[in-house]
Amino acid sequence: MKRKLLSLMLVGTMAASMVACGSSADTTDNASTDATTDGAATEAVQSDDENTLTVYAWDENFNIPALKAAEKDYQDVNPDFKLEVITQSQSSDVEQAVTLAAEAGDYSTLPDIVLFQDHYFQQYVTNYPDAWQDASDADCDWNGLGAEKLSYSTIDGKHYGFPVDAGTAIFAYRTDLLEQAGYTIDDVTGITWDEFDKIGKDVQAKTGKYLLCMDGSGNDLFYMMLQEEGVSQFKDGKPYIKDNETLVKVFDVVATLAKDNVLYLANDWSDYTDQAIQGDMVAGVFNGNWIIPTMKQVSENSGKWEIVPAPTLTGKPGYASNGGSSLYITANCKKADLAKDFLAYTFGGRSAEDGQSTTYDEALLNGGVIGTCAAAAESDVYQQGVDFFNGQPIYADIVEYTQNVATVEQSDYHYQARTHLGTALQNVLDNGYTTEQALEEAESNLKFDMGL
């Protein structure tokens, strides 16, 4: 198998035991059956029932409520349908299960469907092309699901995945803190990063707050700021860093924001979420919309936040994405037609086109999952104002943002690029490097990782 060692290193050392899940013995209702596992699969996880599908997924507060909503939705057209959700502790458990099955040359240990992180999927198609089934002939409007979102799961013209959550980024501001510094939400809408820096210095001087924060050990700012400009960190499959004029500009902006105490670089993820965002250190947040539940933990800030498109180098409205996952049909699925129809009707948005999508509405209400389907944003649930965000209909706004996110070149080495650019930033801030030196070293190290 290609890159066998690399794949195993990436998924980590997970326990290789799992409780096998066959068909459900409970037929008294149509509720989905959950089984919890603590590692990768070692036995078949299939149901003999022709109307039952099995799926690996993680996060009982986010993804799994979305899957239960999809099961309920599809039962409108197939009352006998059941979805057996086999809960994983984290996304890497799913990656480990696919890796072990592929390395053993035996996909019978996989369920019908797996939930997979978007940024990892292309790597797994490259390494294990036989692990997946082509879903291109599914009956759904692919064009309505967001071109950028589908770019992760569309390979050589084939559709493999059905989006669950939009990783679409939000740029949220504390309007009360802006007001203390003499600004309104309009003042931070449609601005350049240079203007953002000026406003941020005023906010810092008058409130003691940073206007932005990011986890310094996993800095996603570079990727999001580049995507706003329609540019990637890769070009024709190779690193595109030191000679990438847009990346150089973005890098210098981030370094300037940090030096001016406009950007707080957290020490780790906990520092970013618990101390910076929930600890009331910041007046602005820029990340995938999955950060919203973290923000909402601080109930006393309800009504003080609003979202707008992000700043850009030129001042045009900025749209980006970060994170998210999709559902994929495995090679072990013997009911591929059922799987494709289920996924197309639910997450593919076919029911949303009829104005009655239980999947999107209940996934949002019960799990906070914001989908990508443009038709879903027309529902009353998506159009409703959100008290925490000063009555702004942010869910409909985020779906609209999704349709505007630029599609840029992706790479199996997305996370390695993120790591090396984060190190480059620290080298400039702390170790006396010039931008040119730091980016040249980052590109050299990334090429080494890629065997170039």
Of 363, 378, 393, the position where a domain reaches its end is 378
- Do 56 and 137 share a domain, yes or no? yes
- Model confidence pLDDT, tens digit, residues 313-354: 999 999 999 988 999 999 999 999 999 999 999 999 888 776
> What 3-state DSSP class applies to 279?
coil
The set of residues, in sequence order, having a beta carbon less than 8 Å from that of 227 and lying 6+ positions away, is 148, 319, 320, 321, 405, 406, 408
- Model confidence pLDDT, tens digit, residues 124-167: 998 999 999 999 999 998 988 888 899 999 999 999 999 999 88
- Do 267 and 330 share a domain, yes or no? no
Domain count, the chain: 2
The set of residues, in sequence order, having a beta carbon less than 8 Å from that of 63 and lying 6+ positions away, is 57, 115, 164, 165, 325, 367, 369
- Return the residue matching tokens 């986010």: 62
- Do 242 and 187 share a domain, yes or no? yes
- Do 61 and 75 share a domain, yes or no? yes
- Do 336 and 374 share a domain, yes or no? yes
In total, the chain counts a number of residues equal to 452
Reading the block at residue 52, the tokens are 């039952």
In a domain, 394, yes or no: no
The set of residues, in sequence order, having a beta carbon less than 8 Å from that of 102 and lying 6+ positions away, is 1, 127, 128, 130, 131
Mean predicted confidence (pLDDT) in 206-214: 97
- Do 90 and 195 share a domain, yes or no? no
In DSSP terms, which residues pair with 53 in a beta bridge?
83
Phi, psi of 185 (to 5 degrees): -65, -30
- Do 182 and 214 share a domain, yes or no? yes
3-state SS, 341-390, equals HHHHHCCCCHHHHCCCCHHHHHHHHHHCCCCCCHHHHHCHHHHCCEHHHC
- Model confidence pLDDT, tens digit, residues 2-59: 333 333 333 332 332 222 222 223 323 333 444 444 444 434 588 888 999 999 999 8
In a domain, 388, yes or no: no
- Do 61 and 176 share a domain, yes or no? no
- What pLDDT score does 204 carry? 98
In a domain, 50, yes or no: yes
Tell me 413's DSSP state: T
In a domain, 387, yes or no: no
Predicted confidence band of residue 298 (pLDDT cuts 50, 70, 90): very high
- Model confidence pLDDT, tens digit, residues 78-97: 999 999 999 998 888 999 99
Give the integer Cα–Cα distance in Å for 214 and 395. 23
Tell me 140's DSSP state: S
Give the integer Cα–Cα distance in Å for 216 and 193. 19
Which CATH number does the domain housing residue 344 bear? Answer: 3.40.190.10
Reading the block at residue 159, the tokens are 């559709």
pTM, full prediction = 0.81
Mean predicted confidence (pLDDT) in 195-203: 98
Owning domain of residue 187? 169-320+408-450
- Do 310 and 340 share a domain, yes or no? no
In a domain, 398, yes or no: no
- Do 227 and 329 share a domain, yes or no? no
In a domain, 403, yes or no: no
The set of residues, in sequence order, having a beta carbon less than 8 Å from that of 222 and lying 6+ positions away, is 233, 247, 250, 251, 254, 418, 421
DSSP string, 24-82: -S--SS-PPEEEE-SS---S----SSTTEEEEEEE-TTTHHHHHHHHHHHHTTT-TT-E
In a domain, 401, yes or no: no
In a domain, 393, yes or no: no
- Do 292 and 250 share a domain, yes or no? yes
- What pLDDT score does 356 carry? 66
Element (H, E) at 424: helix 414-430
- Do 38 and 150 share a domain, yes or no? yes
Question: Is 249 a residue whose pLDDT tops 90?
Answer: yes
